Amino acid sequence: MVNELTGKIIALLYSNKIPFHDLIIEISNFNIKRRIAASLFFKTYESAEIRFISKYLQNYEGTIVEFGASIGVVSSTLAKSNPKAQVISFEADSRFIPIIEQNFKINGILNARVCNEIIGAQGYEFIPGEDNTRGKITKSNQSDSQLASLKDLISKYDFPDTFVLVCDIEGAEYFVLSELNFQNCPLLIMELHPIEIEGALITVPDLKNKILKLGYEIIEEYGSNIVAKNNKIDFKR
């Protein structure tokens, strides 16, 4: 049922404003594939992340940082579920920034903002895989001033001492995990992807082990999506 044809029909019936739980998601932008309309309508869109947010991240009053905002569905869900929180979302593709901002506006969301930033590390190039398949990280001789490390973003956007992190960035989460200081982040909701680094494969189990070594306990997982908690930081839901 989640395909281009079904999506086209649903988009037509709903005039490109698709109901999704308690949100309305605008998908009229030509950069959005029509099958997204079907996945939104049938509630399969990022279903694990949405379920984890519903279970573990309700009425949080701190800062929530999201990497990989896409069209703003998870961002909007985070903001609606946590009305006293401040949500800072980051999206690498500049074409999606006005889409996200439009979806914030449609849903009356005032406690979220989106920033166009590309997570990475100087001296390396990230090549995403197609449809969330295995990406690659390779060394690069070219300096890319657009790349931002987690440390760069914490400084640039003045993150607070602690923040919850929600992350789905198709393999570039390896960069985030390489810098993440577990003392700053009591809760982590992340979709993990296998990643090839200079020819060596880093698997999803490898990334889980990396999370455990950072001091987290993985408290729930579904497929490649995990929820991890740092028990050394008091986290009040």
Q: What is the pLDDT of residues 47-60, one digit of tens each?
A: 999 999 999 999 99
pLDDT band of residue 197 (cuts 50, 70, 90) is confident
For residue 131, is pLDDT > 60? Answer: no
Three-state DSSP class for 55?
A: helix
What's the rounded Cα separation, in Å, for the pair 18 and 115? 24
What's the rounded Cα separation, in Å, for the pair 188 and 207? 13
pLDDT band of residue 1 (cuts 50, 70, 90) is confident
pLDDT of residue 106: 96
pLDDT of residue 133: 55
pLDDT of residue 227: 97
Q: What is the pLDDT of residues 37-48, one digit of tens each?
A: 999 999 999 999
pLDDT of residue 98: 95
Mean pLDDT of 176-194: 88
pLDDT of residue 219: 96
Instruction: Read off the tokens for 100.
Output: 């996200």
Question: Among candidates 51, 87, 55, which has minimal Cα distance to 72?
Answer: 87
Element spanning 116, H or E = strand 112-116
Mean pLDDT of 98-109: 96
pTM above 0.85, yes or no: yes
pLDDT of residue 198: 78
Q: Report the percentage of the chain scoring pLDDT > 90.
A: 63
| CA-to-CA dists, residue 137 to 119, 129, 142, 146, 167, angstroms | 12, 11, 14, 16, 18
Secondary-structure breakdown of the chain: helix, strand, coil percentages, each rounded to the nearest 5: 35, 25, 40
Mean pLDDT of 118-144: 65
Which residue ranges form the domains of the chain, and what is each CATH number?
1-44 (no CATH), 46-229 (3.40.50.150)
pLDDT of residue 141: 65
pLDDT band of residue 186 (cuts 50, 70, 90) is very high
At which residue do the structure tokens 């060394």 appear? Answer: 139
For residue 36, is pLDDT > 80? Answer: yes
Helix 47-56 with 73-81: angle, nearest 10 deg: 10
